[in-house]
Structure 1
């Protein structure tokens, strides 16, 4: 198999056979001429069903995750919704992480629950707790590793063994790790989910999602359902994502370098009571993460020693760390999950601490990021 960066730059992206253009074209056409009734050229008849720019992106994503099939979506939640409506029926049950992404929890708890789908939040690092939560009606175990925003780590191979023994499917949201740091299909996952808005796109200029699987039958169902509901990205969005993924490897190395510096600063600062980063030896998931990840990622969370007010003050005082939702772009972001990305979990078992601050560490000069965050922390020490 070719190396990661080679696949990121070339998979699905051969030079144009007519012009020799080395960059994939943006095919804006909504419809395609047919050679007689039913004479479809190359599988393209209408761009909701298939588009050449989207095909190039899908082939690249499949190659990066080591899967046979990839489907690109208009958003990560569009991908999540499509997959769950395929795998679940009224009366079915799924397991979700006890610290799942707020958008995933909202979809499961507020939308799917209205159609009779039941769910149980579980600490997926605790395999006994997972076994206890499984039911005869369990169809899906949904995992994030690392989790958003508490940076929990789950053993993907271990989850796969338990899930498959119960006759269910394991889905892994690989957004925080990206395919550069972790490939869940190789560890036994059935489906990988991405918000390609984040590290895959990497420049905070496009929203997208993806599903990748080796399961031929499931891939056919995804194709049918996606076409039926129309949850597809436009060609320019697909092109932006494809452009971003070319530099994923070099970006992730810099994200990881900078995150390690930030975690070191946080661990030594009196304004911080706890640092959540799997790269730290004291993190409960450190050994598992070291086993299944290339490096530990660019996301760092921490608890402010002064509680909620201190957390909000820190968020307000940074200059290079921009106060904003989302993550995974080249610029550094800071947010207060309890009132921003994870507000939907308030009052539930998944409610996050009000002293929690989440950092998406970008690829700026590390010294500048350290100085910016230290200055903000010093305002509440």
Structure 2
């Protein structure tokens, strides 16, 4: 398999490189789609030298190497690592924190990641402070000297609160901390988190990166090849928490259409958010693309190629109205996850549990590739009982 040679043309765009998976033509056959390599072990030549890039697939195989190259290119990173899930990627970052290390994270973030941090704190392995997303004053106060890790998420799931990445980086670095960001909902086609000052960027590749609801995977990319990254690399290698070859191949296939999918989903989400704003059954439409969103100005700086296909609705009728909306759609599928080609809807609080800060009346919406007018009609008919 051959990778893209930058001498072939002048300054190809990241979009073009992604569409061709960095010109991943199979050298043996000329196939324009890279083959699947399920092998777990790889041969050496007569001089005991590796024929390819790896001797064993636990760190990575040919499919993982190629996908990681594309993702590193997308992020402007010297290196990226693939994991078996987004949670496995997050766990590797948490594991890299030294014993008794201080971590600052958001009070509103992906609930699984927060639960992992709280578990580590409850066991006494780390100390943990939580701050509201976007509250830079609270973040600065929590980042005492010697803080090891600051974990942010923007947009924050599921209110889509916006966090200023550059400001967070300045605060984290002043305390001597690493800034890691969960940028799952703002993929690298729209947000370049590393260029804004983040040290590590994480994606649940299950979501927008793959985009077809058929792969479980995670990604970490680094701004520098430093001691922290060396620790994460060792954890990655020792634990073997990598996706399978077929899953990686599927992810790379989905990644090729990231730009067109994200652009269409952003366009449709903006259409729906604007149409639903002011609806009599709704207290609020939460979407960073709306000028009324409190984080819109920062989002416009950070999300340069679309605001994404995710928004939330808050129902005037509270918990019962939210439940009825989520179960009353005919085209939207009531299911967990985001970023796929099919539109999903979910009453979020029951999923996260009673300890979640998510409001009882919030319904999360993930826009797919269906016709925008059809999606609007479906939401309007499901909202009609609540309006009455």
Matched, 1:334 2:379: no
1:112 positional shift:
5.0
**Which of 313, 316, 337 is the matching residue for 1:302?**
313
TM-score scaled by structure 2? Answer: 0.94
Alignment of 1:56-135 (within 5 A): 56-86=66-96, 88-135=97-144
Conserved 8 A contact 2:146-2:176: no
Q: Show the counterpart of 2:322.
A: 311
Q: Distance in 2 between matches of 1:245 and 1:181?
A: 14
Per-residue deviation, residues 105-164 of structure 1 (Å, max 9, x unmatched): 111112453242121111241211111111234211111110111100011111111111
**Structure 2 residue matching 1:330: 3-state secondary structure:** coil
Matched, 1:28 2:34: no
TM-score scaled by structure 1? Answer: 0.95
Alignment of 1:84-233 (within 5 A): 84-86=94-96, 88-217=97-226, 218-233=228-243
Q: Over aligned residue pairs, what C-alpha RMSD do you find?
A: 1.4
Q: Show the counterpart of 2:301.
A: 291
Per-residue deviation, residues 338-373 of structure 1 (Å, max 9, x unmatched): 111x22xx33xx521111110001110000000000
Conserved 8 A contact 1:265-1:374: no
Q: Distance in 1 between matches of 2:43 and 2:77?
A: 31
Per-residue deviation, residues 234-256 of structure 1 (Å, max 9, x unmatched): 00011000000100000011101
Query: Which segment is superposed worse, 4-13 or 176-185?
Result: 4-13
- Note the residue ranges of structure 2 that are not aligned, 5 or more in a row: 1-10
Q: Distance in 1 between matches of 2:31 and 2:325?
A: 48
Conserved 8 A contact 2:21-2:252: no
1:37 positional shift:
7.7
Q: Distance in 2 between matches of 1:44 and 1:200?
A: 25
Per-residue deviation, residues 296-353 of structure 1 (Å, max 9, x unmatched): 111001211100000000011001110000110000000111111x22xx33xx5211
Q: Show the counterpart of 1:235.
A: 245
1:12 positional shift:
4.2
Alignment of 1:334-353 (within 5 A): 334-340=345-351, 342-343=352-353, 346-347=354-355, 350-353=356-359
**Which of 289, 294, 302 is the matching residue for 1:279?**
289
Relative to structure 1, the CA distance from residue 42 to residue 261 in structure 2 (aligned partners, 3 Å threshold; closer, same or farther) is same
Query: Which segment is superposed worse, 321-330 or 131-140?
Result: 131-140
Conserved 8 A contact 2:108-2:133: no
Q: Distance in 2 between matches of 1:113 and 1:125?
A: 25
**Structure 1 residue matching 2:195: 3-state secondary structure:** helix
1:49 positional shift:
2.0
Q: Distance in 2 between matches of 1:302 and 1:180?
A: 25
- Note the residue ranges of structure 1 that are not aligned, 5 or more in a row: none
Q: Distance in 1 between matches of 2:229 and 2:381?
A: 50
Q: Higher relative CO (CA 8 A, sep ≥ 6), structure 1 or 2?
A: 1
